[in-house]
Structure 1
Amino acid sequence: MSDQAVSLPRLNEPAPDFQALTTDGTKSLADYRGKWLVLFSHPADFTPVCTTEFMAFAKRQDAFAALNVELLGLSIDSHYAHIAWMRAIKESFDVEIGFPIIADLDMKVAKAYGMIQPGASDTSAVRATFVIDPNGVLRAMLYYPMSNGRSVEEILRLVKALQTSDVEKIATPEAWQPGDDVIVPPPATAAAAATRGSEGYNTVDWYFSTRKL
C-alpha cells in the first residue's frame, strides 16, 4: 500500500484543467464553459456496481440536460475498453450511454482530481463526483468507496440546490427539494439580529429563518 499523499482540488476554486481522449473524441474543461459539468470516476469497466451507476446516469441524462448540465465519466481503462463496455451495456440492458467517458490510462486527470486513493487502490479511481459550474469553478465533491454505488438522484438534487442558491442567494436545508422552503442567511450584526423577527420570514430564532421561493 502506498503512503503517497493525495492532493485534492478545493471547493470554490477553479477546477483542475484537463485535455483527454474520450469516447466522443478529445475533450477539455474549456469545452464545458458556459455549462455545468458533472465529472465522475469509476474503478473499472465491465464491473457490476459501475454498470448500475452508468445506467442510472444515462437514464437521468435528460434531467441533467434540462438544468444545463453535461455528464462526463472517467476510469483508468483504455478508449477501446470504454467503447466495448458501452456496447455491452446497450446489448445486455438496452440502455444507451449518451455521454463521453475519459480514457485516463496515464492517470493525469485522476491524479489532478484526487480520484486515486492509495488506501483503496493505487491503479483504480474511486467513485468520485465533481460538480463544476459554468465558470469552471469546482462547487461540490463527493467520494464513495469502491464497494458501494452512488445515488444519481442525490447528485441531481445537489445540482438543483446549488443553482437555486446561486440565483436566490439562500441556503437549502437537509434533503431540500424544489418547492420546499429555503434558509435565509443569518443576520451579520447584532442590530440586524434584533429586527430579524419583524422581516416577514418564518423565524424560529434570530439565526434560523426560512422563506418560500
Structure 2
Amino acid sequence: MVNLGDVFPNFSAESTQGTIKFHDYLGDSWGILFSHPADYTPVCTTELGRVAKLAPEFTKRNVKLMALSCDSVASHNGWIKDIQAYNNLSGDFPYPIVADENRDLAVSLGMVDPDEKDAAGMPLTCRAAFVVGPDKKLKLSILYPATTGRNFDELLRVVDSLQLTAVKKVATPADWKDGGHCMVIPSISSDEAKTLFPEHKVHTVPSGKSYLRTTPHPK
C-alpha cells in the first residue's frame, strides 16, 4: 500500500507504448495512474474512452496519464480498437495501458478487488486512481468497486485543487471549481491573511471563532 505523502514506487512495466519506468515517464509532470478490472468489459470501455477524450485537458494541466489492468499488452492493443469505436475516437490512443498479468503492481499498490475474479478465479483490479505530484509523492487516491464507473471530470477538478493548494496558502471548499472562492488555511494568522489575501472575508458564526475565511481565487 502507498499512503498519502509516500514516494510512489518507481515500477517498470510493459505497456501499449513499450517498456515504461514510472518516474522517468512522469519526468517533471504530474501523473494519474488508474486501474480497471479487465479489458473487453463494458464500464471500463466507457471509462478509458472518457479519459481519452479528456486527455487534452489533462495535458493543459501538465498531467500524464496511464491505465493498468491484469491483461496482456496484446489484449490491451486489441481492446483499444473497441474503445475508439464505441467512444468515436480517432488517431493514436493518447496514453499507455500497462500490463500487470502477474498482479505484482495490483497487489503492491492495494488495487485488488477481492469480490471481482476472472474465469480462473484470480482477483481483478479495482477502479483505483492515484494522483502523483512532480515530486513523485502520492497526492490523492480513490478506490471504486468494479460496478461503479468513475467521474473523470472530478479528477480534473481534484488536479486543479491540488495544483493550486501546492503553491498558495488556501484550501478548496466543497464542490469548488477552478476560479471559485477558496478558504484561507487555519495556520495563516490574521495579519498574514490581510497581506496575502487583501480581499478575504471573515465569516461570523455562533461560536465566535474566526476560522471561516474566504478569499477570491488567488491567481
* Count, aligned residues: 202
- Separation in 2 of the partners of 1:146 and 1:135? 30
Q: Give 1:107 shift.
A: 1.0
Match of 1:16 among 9, 13, 24: 9
Query: Structure with the greater relative contact order (CA < 8 A, sep ≥ 6): 1 or 2?
Result: 1
- Mark the CA change 1:203 to 1:163 in structure 2 (over 3 Å): closer, same or farther: same
- Separation in 1 of the partners of 2:194 and 2:89? 54
Paired residues of 1:76 and 1:123 also in contact (CA < 8 A):
no
Q: Give 1:134 shift.
A: 0.7
Partner of 1:111: 107
Partner of 2:206: none
Structure 2 length as normaliser, TM-score? 0.86
Amino acid of the structure 1 residue aligned with 2:180: D
Is the partner of 2:175 in helix, strand or coil? coil
Paired residues of 1:187 and 1:196 also in contact (CA < 8 A):
no
Structure 1 stretches of at least 4 aligned residues deviating more than 6 Å after TM superposition: 195-199
Structure 1 length as normaliser, TM-score? 0.88
Match of 1:30 among 23, 37, 40: 23
- Mark the CA change 1:196 to 1:168 in structure 2 (over 3 Å): closer, same or farther: closer
Q: CA RMSD in A?
A: 1.9
Q: Give 1:92 shift.
A: 4.1
- Mark the CA change 1:39 to 1:198 in structure 2 (over 3 Å): closer, same or farther: closer
Q: Give 1:169 shift.
A: 2.2
- Separation in 2 of the partners of 1:26 and 1:38? 17
Deviations 1:91-114 (A, max 9, x none): 344324311000100111111211
- Separation in 1 of the partners of 2:169 and 2:194? 20
Matches within 5 A, 1:138-177: 138-177=138-177
Partner of 1:208: 212
**Identity over the aligned pairs, expressed in percent?**
35
- Separation in 1 of the partners of 2:157 and 2:133? 15
Matches within 5 A, 1:1-150: 8-31=1-24, 32-96=26-90, 97-121=93-117, 122-150=122-150
- Separation in 2 of the partners of 1:28 and 1:176? 34
